[in-house]
Amino acid sequence: MSDWLSLVFSDAVRRSCERGDCLFHTGDNVLSVFLILDGEIDLVRVTPSGNEIVLQSAGRDAVLAEASVYSETYHCDAIARCRSTVAQLETDAFKDRLASNRSWAENWAASLSHSVQRARLNTEVRSLKKVADRLDFWLAVNSGTSPERRTKDIAAEIGVSPEALYRELSKRRRK
């Protein structure tokens, strides 16, 4: 973990969750900031047609829903992908700590910048028309860094149905 994050969250409440547990729901008031200590948690939005879109898959040492620190309510659900542990700190305490330490504030700004870059990559992959192109892009961006993921989870990340991704994977296996 980054030294600065470990200091910011040093006295935060530890909270455990099982696979499928929800830390917060769309529309809940933002009262806390979460640092993932172990496991992985997805930020999920459900489209009007019922499809799930994974906005972020946050793992160890990531601050979850970082943009929500500056919002009144959450714009998505936070669902544990597996057994996970988070450090939970009140939003006001988090902001106060950043305001009191310039180095922490600069590290936080850099972290937010990287999040914007990742969001742009996600937008780029979802702008591609073909499932094959989306999968190729996802594989290139995540090569060697991604943990094992279920096909359903990858489909949600690239914005296609699980069935469409299964068909594409089947085509690739036949080649």
Distance CA 173, CA 135 (A): 14
Q: Is 36 helix (H, G, I), strand (E, B) or coil?
A: strand
Q: Is 146 helix (H, G, I), strand (E, B) or coil?
A: coil
Please report whether residue 14 resides in a domain: yes
Q: Interior CA angle at 145 toward 22 and 12, to 5°? A: 40
Please report whether residue 168 resides in a domain: no
Query: What are 2's strand-pairing partners?
Result: none
Distance CA 58, CA 36 (A): 7
Please report whether residue 46 resides in a domain: yes
Cα distances (Å, whole numbers) of residue 74 to 23, 70, 97, 98, 155: 11, 10, 22, 21, 23
Please report whether residue 58 resides in a domain: yes
Please report whether residue 15 resides in a domain: yes
Query: Which pTM value belongs to this model?
Result: 0.73
Nearest of 36, 23, 40 to residue 150 by alpha carbon: 40
Please report whether residue 40 resides in a domain: yes
CATH code for the domain in which residue 81 is found: 2.60.120.10
Please report whether residue 144 resides in a domain: no
Please report whether residue 112 resides in a domain: no
Distance CA 32, CA 94 (A): 8
Domain that holds residue 98: 3-104
pLDDT value at residue 149: 66
Distance CA 50, CA 33 (A): 28
pLDDT value at residue 127: 87
Q: What is the largest CA-CA distance in the chain?
A: 58
Q: What is the pLDDT along the chain (175 residues), one digit of tens a residue?
A: 578 999 999 999 999 999 999 999 999 999 999 999 999 999 999 888 887 888 888 889 999 988 899 999 999 999 999 999 999 999 999 999 999 999 999 989 998 888 888 888 888 888 899 999 999 988 888 776 555 567 877 887 788 888 899 899 889 888 8
Question: Which letter does DSSP use for residue 108 in this model?
Answer: H
- What DSSP letter does each residue of 110-135 carry, written as one string? HHHHHHHHHHHHHHHHHH-SSHHHHH
> How many folded domains does the chain comprise?
1
Pairing of strands 84-90, 32-38: antiparallel
